[in-house]
A and B are shown apart, each in its own frame.
Chain A
Amino acid sequence: MAPYIARRLLLTVPLLIVVSFVTFLLIRLSPMDPAEVVLQAQETPQITEELLAQTREELGMNDPFLLQYANWLMSCFRLDFGESYVSGQPVWSLIGPAFANTLSLTLISSVFIIVLSTLLGVVSALREGSLADKSTRGLSFFLTAIPSYGLASVLIWLLAVKLDWLPTSGMDSAASFVLPVAVIAVNYVGIYFRTVRSSVLSNKNEEYVLYARASGLSERAVTMRILRNSLQVAVAIFGMSIPIILGSTVVIENVFAWPGLGRLSVKAILSRDFPIIQAYVLIVAVAFVVINTVSDIVNAAINPKLRSERA
């Protein structure tokens, strides 16, 4: 196991370099002149050639391209992503708290998604064809079909406005998490519970299950085997889905006025606040790589076949 983890971690180094380079390149490739954007964002009344040249010099844009990249990368390591063109505040002081807010929303939602879809998937597969199985499948179909902003609006109207049980928006207390987490979880549980269910069902018909029963093992022991093997698929899918949730909270954050990355990035894009956009892309990409690496390692820990194939 240890050599596998070491190898997997080493693999992330070139991946992170490529990710950061592409992030840097994307911004440089945009047709806008950063110096001009900075001056416009600061609402400079008169943009002269001199002023542009001076700003370029300040931004280090006259340096060779690779040197610019290296300087930028080194400052990123110190969490120095420059200053916002619009407000002049350090980018990290804006994006750091926003990232923490989005990450906590994502992780709490993921815990609910994993626990609920595993539980529902396993129960409905083990009781295939029962009323519980049929009603769970029917309900999930219905809930998955509702777009998240629609469900969010209905829940806000019912639970926050009509009944006044929960806050409508913002992030002030633990109660603020209930609605956004519920909306995100409902959307994903409907999909992932089916994945878990079909994985358990296909494992139920495997020959190792027949042989375990034929050897006189108890139903409990047989069920444990089915679960261990079917959850491997589930873990792989959950590992891939956490970064997707992280990157797609934009809608939910805007509906619930959640002070997170999604809202911050939309605002930054609208005002062409490049340092924030760049930091946003980099942080989400790095989070992708990190979460994928962790889920690969977890997968290898429970699936010996993966371990020996790759290590």
Chain B
Amino acid sequence: MNTLEVKGLSVWDEATGSAIVRDSSFVLRQGRCLAIVGESGSGKSMTCKAIMRLNRGTIRQSGRVLLNGEDIGELSEAEMRKRRGKNVCMIVQNGMAAFDPSRPVGVHLRETLRTHFGWGRSEAEGVLRVAMESVMLREPLELMNKYPHQLSGGMLQRVMIALALALRPDVIIADEPTTALDAISQYEVVEQFVRLREEMGCSLLFVSHDLGVVKKIADDVVVMKDGMIVESGSLEAVFGGSRHSYTQYLLSSRLTLSRHFQSIMEGGA
């Protein structure tokens, strides 16, 4: 079964008339990991937000997004809000900026679980403790009382993964989850994503421009350039026998850029 199916998705800015994503279609199958790769500004993040219906202001979208066979474009805003987090959960790029800076991180976690499941404080904390321990966050209860600025980017990224674990969604969308991290934290976070998939068997849409990370985690790959999908297929097909010149260009630049990262990945794995 296809958990997430995107058909002819276009995103554009009404104010400037510029197209951001053009007629893109892809399929995320149950329990698989689909990676969207491409350089900054290629429309990867806008695609993620379009799936969540979170593009605001003058940004418009057309095309169909099917979540478990249901067209999210036909849902009311209230229905869509119930899907966010519970059915399709997003992990954003910059952990340091993802939580309300004036409240301890636990406030967001408990509020999200209360919204979706109606859990009280102790119930939510019980589930969160297990989830946080499973992503190698020590002393979870103490950590929930900390403010975002007291934690590192890698820890906050893992807090988001822990929340995803607690929510047990059908699809997790991770938008550049390792970009803002140093190499060591990147390694830890990627390890948690791998384990997340092994434990939950959920489908993962993984957006990245880091091909080393993609190679480690993805089953299928979509390559985007200037808002268009230029190549798609299984990881082996795209990375092994790429025909498109842009994919070849990305692959060759990866070899020079991410040797350092790769050596850590291979040394640690």
**Which residues of A approach B to under 8 Å, CB–CB?**
206-208, 210-218, 221, 225, 228-229, 232, 302-305, 308
Contact = CB atoms under 8 A, between A and B. Distances in A.
A214 B83 CA distance: 9
A65 B94 CA distance: 60
Contact of A221 (B89, B98, B111, B160): B111
B187 interface: no
A202 to B, nearest CB: 12
Interface string B72-92: 000000000111111001101
A215 B85 contact: yes
Contacts of A212: 100, 108
A229 B101 contact: yes
A229 B147 contact: no
Contact of B147 (A214, A215, A232, A305): A305
Contact of A305 (B86, B93, B101, B108): B101
A302 B81 CA distance: 29
Interface in B184-237: none
A172 to B, nearest CB: 45
Nearest to A209: B100
Contacts of B99: 208, 211
Interface of B: 49, 52, 54, 81-86, 89-90, 92-94, 97-103, 108, 111-112, 115-116, 147, 149-150, 160, 163
Given A216-B112, A228-B102, A232-B102, 20 more contacts: A207-B92, A207-B94, A210-B92, A211-B160, A212-B100, A214-B90, A215-B85, A215-B112, A216-B81, A216-B83, A216-B84, A217-B85, A217-B111, A217-B112, A217-B115, A225-B100, A225-B102, A225-B103, A229-B100, A229-B101
Contacts of A228: 100, 102-103
Contacts of A216: 81-86, 112, 115-116
B85 A208 contact: no
A308 B102 CA distance: 12
Nearest to B104: A304
Given A214-B84, A215-B163, A218-B115, A304 B92 contact: no
A56 to B, nearest CB: 59
Contacts of A215: 84-85, 89-90, 108, 112, 115, 163
B149 A305 contact: yes
A68 B163 CA distance: 67
Contacts of A302: 102
A104 B90 CA distance: 52
Contacts of B94: 207
A211 B100 CA distance: 9
Contacts of B116: 216
Contacts of B112: 215-217
Given A218-B81, A229-B102, A208 B97 contact: yes
A220 B176 CA distance: 28
B178 to A, nearest CB: 16
Contacts of A225: 100, 102-103
B147 A308 contact: yes
Contacts of B90: 211, 214-215
A308 B150 contact: yes
Contacts of B83: 216
A218 B84 CA distance: 11
A215 B112 CA distance: 6
B87 to A, nearest CB: 9
When A and B form their complex, which 3 residue pairs have the shortest distance between CB atoms, in order from nearest?
A: A216-B85, A214-B90, A216-B84
A212 B52 CA distance: 12
A207 B179 CA distance: 15
A311 to B, nearest CB: 13
A208 B100 contact: yes
A210 B93 CA distance: 11
A228 to B, nearest CB: 5
B81 A304 contact: no
Contacts of B163: 215
A129 B100 CA distance: 26
B265 to A, nearest CB: 27
B115 A208 contact: no
Nearest to A128: B57
Contacts of A207: 92-94, 97-98
B92 A214 contact: yes
Nearest to A229: B102
